[in-house]
Amino acid sequence: MSDLLEGLNEEQKRAVTTTEGYVRVVAGAGSGKTRCLSYRFAYLVNELGILPRNILCVTFTNKSAAEMRQRIHNLIGDNDTGYVNTFHGFCVSVLQEDSHAISYPKSFLVLDNSDVDAMLGIVYAERGLTLRDMTYSQARDMIEIRKLLRDPTYYRVFVELSLEELRARYEQASDPEDIIFWGYLYQERKCFGLDYNDLIKLTLFIFEREPEIKKKWQQRLEYIMIDEFQDIDALQYELMDVLSGLHHNLFVVGDPDQTIYSWRGADVKFLLDFPARHPGTTTILLNKNYRSTPQILSVANSLIAKNTMRIDKELQSACDEGLRPLVKYAKDANQEGVWIANQCCELNAAGVPWRDICVLYRAHYITRPIEAAFIQKNVPYRIYSGAQFFERVEVRNALAYLRMVAYQDDLSFMRIANVPKRNIGEQRMHFLREFAQGQDCSLLEALRLSLEDPLFKSTDARAFVGLIDKYAMAAVTLSISELLAGLLDESGYEKALRTEGSQERLDNLAELRQSIYEYETSCGEEATLDRYLSHIALLSNADTADSGDRVRFMTVHAAKGLEFPYVFLCGLNEGAFPTKRTSTLSAMEEERRLAFVGITRAQKRLFLSEASGRSFDGSPRYPSRFLLDIDQSLLDFDEMPTAGLIEEARAFIVGRQSALEALERGPAFQKGQRVSHRVFGLGTILAVDEGQHAYVVKFDEMATTRHIAFRVAMEPVEK
């Protein structure tokens, strides 16, 4: 035992050796929780004699499960590592062993999104549905919401009805949503498939309907351990409660300060309220950080202390002293990108490999000016979980429209002639290629000459040719940004993306417009369409060799659980980080937790940056509240921000916070109620506009109504 526990601190040893009952370990970032879990598994096996097959250890990704199994194997010297798996992986084990309880074969299919889309394609084709009825993305979301929230007992019908009865429900449905839902369930049963939502639902269903099967699994799993408990959702929580219902040995590890997945069902209260739901719980705090310097942790502690939904703790560093985090207040996004690139070059010149540097951000659209700076300075990089900005499909399509206006080239034509859909498919494109070759003309000209051909009567070819001709003529007088706005609107491309529900793609198009606006601002009269397209071509075609030694770009969500010697957390502006879509106080706390996660990825040095200036719509950019939340004495500054900028930012943040608080409270008055406004005087509430978070008020001394925001205080008046 002494060898096994050697190298663990006292709290880690306590977590490893506290084996009985309910145990909650609150483990701060970098505190060695993964090591703690693997050593606890080994302690149960090597010291207590528990069989690995009687232990369940749950992680949240297949990668972390594989790493955990390897760690355990190295510690116990046994290939049998029990049930070390994700929630869904464990449920597959249950369902494969006991699939007879739902009349499924052991070799059932676990469906991914591509499988789901293929099934949706069959349903749409059979029932004559189109993407106008519902996009695939919307359909997947609808099915998930219906399974989890609106129709949570669907699985009973799914299991108990025969295949023919399911088919009948599908054929009898008339509403598009019902058609899609029942058609999808029918397709699932037909191929013996289960999606991720089904796996946990049906496991719980088997436990409910078959007490002997539940008892078997409860008896088998003498010890249950759950990693990243702050990310657990309600169904996963229920499953763990059921499985631990006999032995009551449930060990959970998590950090409420890293709860960043509420959008997929996680709730910080699951970890906070664990002792209340499980009386007698032992709580162990791991707050010694083995990852980051004291200077980085001081900044992280200062930031997260502003949250209220948390367990009060401060991370303490076990690492050597380092440098204070460096902050850059840039005048615009381009300067921010150049600064990050320059800092990376300085690190590399000092001997730091490119791969030891990571650039983190809230959303992928932030990377455009940073990528441009990296390309110009020949800094190798790779984007994880996303394509390089100018290689993203929607950006390339938008630029192809501009190229068509400028050059009317065949490459651009082939790219966007049928984007969005104009019924100019492969057959018609083949005809145009042969025609153009015979006439020695461009594809656009070939199409123009073929508009009267019956082959193109059922297409939108004429509108496409007209669009290109119109903007080719207008290019002489319109700015590049005006050209792009008109093309994206009149082509229907932006509308098509909105129909698909592709918000990230729309954000990328907005960022492209921002880049064009900045190009026009910096180049003045020289900002011609030809010059801009040449400028972009140089950026797009720049040589960034595919080497393993590259700076890594990723979102903070993608970086969860990872660590890097040098971290740049960029785009720290209100509306970007925190995102403008933050609409509640709890959501704002989650955004702050996300920033905390980003900060605590850094081991040796942390860099923070924001870009002021103005957006393409003219609105000002302000530094993020998360920059201002931090005790400024803990930071170094590349250049001190102006007092005026900070004052404006704080005033903006106060106003936005007041709006969030008002939204949290909801409307204080009802329709018909008399109120008093400090300026407008007495009035009557005519309507409550929940969408705009405002009252429609007819004031006694005013001829017309006014919309008054919820956040503005008014006094009730007795009639």
- 601 classed as catalytic: yes
- 503 classed as catalytic: no
- Residues 157/163, Cβ–Cβ less than 8 Å: no
- 495 classed as catalytic: no
| Residue in 543, 91, 574, 607 with CA at minimum distance from that of residue 346 | 607
From the list 98, 195, 228, 231, the catalytic residue is: 228
From the list 33, 422, 505, 513, the catalytic residue is: 33
Give the number of other CB atoms < 10 A from CB of residue 32: 22
From the list 227, 257, 394, 610, the catalytic residue is: 227
- 617 classed as catalytic: no
Positions of E strands within 369-445: 381-383
Residue 431, C-beta contacts closer than 8 angstroms, at least 6 positions apart: 450, 455
End-to-end CA distance of the chain: 78
| Residue in 542, 546, 559 with CA at minimum distance from that of residue 606 | 559
DSSP 499-535: HHT-HHHHHHHHHHHHHHHHHHHHHGGG--HHHHHHH
Place of tokens 């997929």: 264
C-alpha to C-alpha distance for 543 and 95, rounded to whole angstroms: 50
From the list 81, 187, 236, 258, the catalytic residue is: 258
Residue 301 corresponds to which tokens in the numbers above? 């502690």
Look up residue 189 and give its amino acid: R
- 604 classed as catalytic: no
Specify burial of residue 36 (Cβ count, 10 A radius: 0-12, 13-18, 19+): buried
Residue 553: which region, alpha, beta or left (left: phi > 0; alpha: psi -120 to 50)?
A: beta
Residue 128, C-beta contacts closer than 8 angstroms, at least 6 positions apart: none
Alpha carbons within 13 angstroms on the beta-carbon side of residue 281 total 20
DSSP 218-277: HHH-SEEEESSGGG--HHHHHHHHHHTTTT--EEEEE-GGG---GGGT--HHHHHTHHHH
Give the number of other CB atoms < 10 A from CB of residue 519: 18
- Residues 329/612, Cβ–Cβ less than 8 Å: yes
- Residues 24/284, Cβ–Cβ less than 8 Å: yes
Residue 648 corresponds to which tokens in the numbers above? 């404006």
Containing H/E element for 215? helix 211-220
- 214 classed as catalytic: no
Question: Which residues carry out catalysis?
Answer: 33-34, 227-228, 258, 601
